[in-house]
Amino acid sequence: MQRRTFVKGVAASSLLALTSTNLEARSTPKQLSNKNILTGTEFFLDIDYTTVNVTGTPAVATTVNGQLSGPTLVWQEGDTVTLHVTNHLKKSSSIHWHGIILPPQMDGVPGISFDGIAPGETFTYTFKVQQHGTYWYHSHSGFQEQTGLYGTIVIKPKKKEPFSYDKDYVIQLSDWSDEKPTAIYKKLKQMSDYYNFSQRTVGTFIEEVKEKGLSKAFKDRSMWNRMRMSDRDISDITAYTYTYLMNGQSPTSHFKALFRKGEKIRLRLVNSAAMTFFDVRIPGLKMTVVAADGNHVKPITVDEIRLGVAETYDVIVQPRHNKAYAIFAQSIDRTGYAMGSLTPKASLLAHAPKMDPKPKLSMVDMGMDMSSMQHGGGMKCSGGMKMSKKTSMKKYKWSAMEAQKYPITPLPSATGVQTTMKAMSPKYRLDDPGVGLRHNGRHVLTYADLKNRYSTRNARKPDREIILHLTGNMERYMWSINGIKYADSQPLQFHYGERLRITFINDTMMNHPMHLHGLWSDLETGDDNHLVRKHTVIVQPGSKISYRVTVDAKGAWAYHCHLLYHMGGMFRKVVVA
């Protein structure tokens, strides 16, 4: 199953102020357009090739209405929208409306819900808008998402929202490469760490000896070598080939959002990257999170947010001074960043803050039981080695979820070349901000902070549970679920009307953003009264996480990791009947 792709290009769009921009209905393809907001109930979207220039070298992007990022679509909750999508490419295309609840035939996944849009053809999507908030859309064909086929969706609510603001901006993050996606993937298959220039060296070993002593440094290095793993394996693809974009603009071209001192500014953060997690902060300003994946949450004020691929967060900030503030989104591996300015005037730009140190994976990220290492809990590699070490780790208060037992439905699984490691003691780590963010002196949002704004006290308990292991072989760059790649898998069978608990166990050392189409995921955080509703959930390395799903939509749906180059194997078809 091919999925999304990567390109190099930048739009000449400026700010996306929803409260003050004149809204247009159409734009012309084959030229870069700045008509970046469309509103109404009927939309005409043209998918085409567009010449762009992100890095100083012209390149060809796959765009919607000639824009990178694509136009923001503004809908009204309760309306029926009609979207005529015309494919001007030389190959089949599609658009998937990410996080939108709709009939399966409108979901836009070739091979699952429809045949795709053939070259020269128009496909009309039509459905009733049943929700509000911040969402996004993207191609689900080949590598087209990587090459620029994505945009944001803003849905206005029927009822007044329980918070106020003066201005409203979309902040859409993405990653771009002048390399063809097929070339990137080929390099990863030949050498999975091709783009990683932060590997251990003789020099770093000498530094570790000075810090830890020879014996400890040697033992640590030997451990990673025996497991054929690297504690620097944070991102598959880095700024060596990627340029990180904010609303289609590089840090050089610099996105700008205007404000007046004292105004409350709503920022709709959307991660539309193919492969990059972003850690977002605005030095000098607190961010109050008011929505996650389009759904209202109890307000929580933080300094920083890790934005996984495909996640969205709405935050409110209030600048108190007439100065430029940096909207700073550094990549999880600290090799680069996207950036814009929240500024009182377009000529005044913020300076980029210093990036954080390059992160290292720890024993926690290996799925080790740090509270009782004498029992041998840890990451097991293909050679059968178990790592153990006595140390201490914070006792997570979410351990109560371990005691929630439901009938478990067995699923096919396999061992062998598809999976070369296993987390022996995976734990719930909802209050862990993740690698690179621990103990950084800032209040970083975690899933443990998120609470549904509205009560879920009366929500049904699950009828049964399924357990999905996220598996992989980094040396061969192979990804799978339960050790079985998508091409060899059978569909997951969900029963219409049931309440299902899905538990993920991440047997790899990478973060995986898992996305279930067509159905909401009610994240378990230990508070059953305020289950958080999400469409994409990050599963941290060596950890477990669970959520509940009310199976209320018949049909065939996609279920996959939202990292582009993982999706070919870490993917399942779900059938609801």
- Which range is least confidently modeled, 62-71, 202-211, 282-291, 380-389? 380-389
Mean pLDDT of 36-45: 96
- Given a cut of 50, is residue 9 above it in pLDDT? no
Mean pLDDT of 412-416: 92
Q: What is the pLDDT of residue 421?
A: 83
Q: What is the pLDDT of residue 22?
A: 30
> Which is nearest to 433 in space by CA: 320, 356, 496?
356
Q: Are strands 312-317 and 287-292 parallel, antiparallel or unpaired?
A: antiparallel
More confident call, 206 vs 268:
268
Q: What is the pLDDT of residue 6?
A: 25
Query: Do 59 and 8 touch, CB atoms closer than 8 A?
Result: yes
**How high does pLDDT run on average in the chain?**
87
- The residue with tokens 């979410």 is 398
Q: What is the pLDDT of residue 375?
A: 39
- Domain regions of the chain by residue span: 37-163, 365-576
* Amino acid in the structure at residue 57: T
- Given a cut of 50, is residue 18 above it in pLDDT? no
Q: What is the pLDDT of residue 387?
A: 33
> Which is nearest to 36 in space by CA: 234, 294, 249, 216?
249
- Given a cut of 70, is residue 400 above it in pLDDT? no
Angle 202-212/214-226 helices, nearest 10 degrees? 130
Q: What is the pLDDT of residue 201?
A: 56
What lies within 8 Å, CB to CB, of 22 at 6+ separation is none
Instruction: Assign 2 a pLDDT band (cuts: 50, 70, 90).
Output: very low
* CA-to-CA separations, 558 to 199, 307, 476, 491, 509, in angstroms, rounded: 35, 22, 25, 10, 24
* Phi/psi at 339 (5° precision): -155, 145
> Which is nearest to 53 in space by CA: 248, 338, 270, 271?
248
Q: What is the pLDDT of residue 14?
A: 30
Q: What is the pLDDT of residue 28?
A: 31
Report pLDDT digits (tens) over 144-182. 999 999 999 999 999 999 999 999 999 999 999 999 999
- The residue with tokens 């590598």 is 143
Measured on CA atoms in the order 381, 471, 234, 185, is the torsion positive or negative? positive
Q: What is the pLDDT of residue 36?
A: 87
Q: Are strands 543-550 and 427-428 parallel, antiparallel or unpaired?
A: parallel
Question: What's the residue count for the chain?
Answer: 577
Please tell me which of 106-110, 196-200, 360-364 the model is most confident about, judged by mean pLDDT. 106-110
Q: What is the pLDDT of residue 77?
A: 98
Q: What is the pLDDT of residue 405?
A: 83
Q: Quick one: fold of 37-163?
A: Immunoglobulin-like (2.60.40)
Report pLDDT digits (tens) over 504-537. 999 999 999 999 999 999 999 989 999 999 999 9
- The end-to-end CA distance of the chain, in Å, is 23
Query: Do 215 and 313 touch, CB atoms closer than 8 A?
Result: no
Instruction: Please give the structure tokens belonging to residue 464.
Output: 């049964």
Tell me what percent of the residues of the chain surpass a pLDDT of 90: 76
* Amino acid in the structure at residue 433: P
Distance from C-alpha of 300 to C-alpha of 88, rounded to nearest angstrom: 44
Report pLDDT digits (tens) over 298-326. 999 999 999 999 999 999 999 999 999 99
Most distant CA atoms of the chain, gap in Å: 68
- Which range is least confidently modeled, 33-37, 126-130, 346-350, 458-462? 33-37
- Given a cut of 50, is residue 391 above it in pLDDT? no
- Given a cut of 80, is residue 341 above it in pLDDT? yes
Please tell me which of 350-354, 361-365, 416-420 the model is most confident about, judged by mean pLDDT. 350-354
Q: Are strands 72-76 and 37-39 parallel, antiparallel or unpaired?
A: parallel
Instruction: Please give the structure tokens belonging to residue 147.
Output: 């090459």
DSSP 144-193: TTTBT-EEEEEEE-SSPPSS--SEEEEEEEEEEESS-HHHHHHHHHH-TT
Instruction: Assign 376 a pLDDT band (cuts: 50, 70, 90).
Output: very low
> Which is nearest to 558 in space by CA: 92, 47, 99, 27?
99
Instruction: Please give the structure tokens belonging to residue 369.
Output: 């039981």
Domain 365-576: give its CATH architecture.
Sandwich (2.60)
Mean pLDDT of 327-354: 97
Q: What is the pLDDT of residue 362?
A: 81
Query: Do 418 and 476 touch, CB atoms closer than 8 A?
Result: no
